């Protein structure tokens, strides 16, 4: 049997499924995986590190500093800048897809400290990591899997 697709994505982890969500409604996409998607990134204790400032003051420049420092100054700084500036949009997109993020008492996406997240260029910790209880990676993966199978 011969199959034809415009795009073939190898791996059904978070990155692979997110790529499918982005392009599947515009073209014919196939995903090849050794395991069912919900098994691909199951063990990853993921926290989405995004600049929302819902819990306390935060700035993209602080996130940029932490990310560059975390890469031992080897990361592509132009790419890192794009990443940190686009991060809030990506989180809200996941929220609109149905990711059940934990919430503050005001109903905003909750954030908590996570190693290496600092305020004011390393002067103290900042709450930057968005999370869904203790199952963030799993619920993001499940949500992306459902979204992929809902695409027509």
Q: Do 147 and 121 share a structural domain?
A: no
Q: Do 90 and 18 share a structural domain?
A: no
Q: Do 89 and 141 share a structural domain?
A: no
d(CA 13, CA 70): 23
Q: How does DSSP assign 92-150, residue by residue?
A: HHHHHHT----B-TTSSBPEE--TT-EETTTTEE---EE--TT-HHHHHHHHHHHHHHH
Q: Do 59 and 114 share a structural domain?
A: yes
Question: Which tokens hold the place of 129?
Answer: 């990591």
Q: Do 64 and 15 share a structural domain?
A: no
d(CA 87, CA 32): 28
Q: Which domain holds residue 122?
A: 48-130
Query: What pTM does this model have?
Result: 0.79
The DSSP symbol for 103 reads B
Q: Do 58 and 119 share a structural domain?
A: yes
Question: Which tokens hold the place of 128?
Answer: 């930057």
Q: What is the full per-residue pLDDT of the chain (152 aa) written as tens digits? A: 898 999 999 988 888 888 888 888 889 999 898 887 666 665 444 445 566 888 999 999 999 999 999 999 999 999 999 999 998 998 999 999 999 999 999 999 999 998 889 999 999 999 999 999 988 888 888 888 888 777 65
**How many domains are there within the chain?**
2
Q: Do 109 and 68 share a structural domain?
A: yes
Q: Do 73 and 125 share a structural domain?
A: yes
């Amino acid at each position: 049997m011969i199959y034809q697709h415009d795009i073939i994505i190898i791996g059904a982890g978070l990155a692979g499924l997110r790529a499918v969500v982005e392009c599947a409604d515009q073209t014919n996409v196939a995903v090849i995986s050794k395991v069912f998607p919900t098994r691909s990134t199951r063990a990853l204790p993921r926290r989405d590190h995004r600049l929302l400032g819902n819990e306390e003051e935060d700035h993209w420049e602080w996130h940029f500093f932490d990310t560059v420092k975390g890469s031992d100054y080897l990361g592509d700084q132009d790419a890192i800048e794009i990443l940190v500036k686009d991060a809030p949009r990506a989180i809200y997109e996941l929220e609109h897809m149905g990711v059940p993020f934990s919430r503050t008492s005001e109903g905003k996406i909750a954030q908590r400290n996570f190693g290496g997240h600092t305020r004011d260029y390393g002067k103290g910790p900042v709450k930057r990591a968005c999370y869904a209880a203790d199952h963030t990676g799993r619920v993001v993966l499940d949500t992306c899997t459902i979204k992929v199978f809902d695409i027509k």
